[in-house]
Structure 1
Amino acid sequence: MLYLSAAITVEIIATSLLKSSEGFTRLWPSLIVIIGYGCAFFFLSLTLRTIPVGVAYAIWSGAGIVLVTLIAWLVFGQRIDLPGLAGIGMIVAGVIILNLFSKTGGY
């Protein structure tokens, strides 16, 4: 789970800086995005030693969606409506169900 947490963390940082890269026209945010995504996939690949790819990707993408949405709200003032909140709630519920009740987790 340590590698998966690292993959999620650097992916969130990279995704959050995509806006600041302004279409990869600004050097430092662009470099952080590229390096961040490279590190995210590296850590995700290490995760696959112990967690099946479908489960790892579901957790990685679900956590990323929720956390990037939270950052977009806090940092960029992005609003989310009730259907959007409901959808994100379903993603969270899915990740929780996968972790608590599924036997496919492999860890």
Structure 2
Amino acid sequence: MVEALGVDEDEVTPEATLVGDLGAESIDFLDIVFRLEKTFNIKVPRGELFPEDILTNSEYVRDGKVTPEGLTQLRQRMPFADLNNFEANPNVKDFANMLTVQDMARYVETKVGVEA
């Protein structure tokens, strides 16, 4: 995270959000995925870590909010992420600011465990 986002090590805490706290932009997510794959020898399938396909699907989004069905899809796709706060007010525009460093660590742990 430090190299990908150009932040100080002390800023990268488990609860830090990638967008709000660490300033990640969409291009940074590509770099994060690349670095995770290289560092941990894992594959990150498109849409698994950042589920744009769910967040842009009219079946799962209405009036800018993720529907209950969409939340179910997100929970299935992202068991590593803590969606509790997002579920309380599931605005699509707020989704990117939900992911934390801890979520990324949990994701890597699940991938390394599966691919080991």
Q: TM-score range by the shorter chain?
A: 0.3 to 0.5
Give the TM-score normalised by the residue count of structure 2. 0.35
Give the TM-score normalised by the residue count of structure 1. 0.37
- Structure with max Cα Rg: 1
Higher helix share: 1
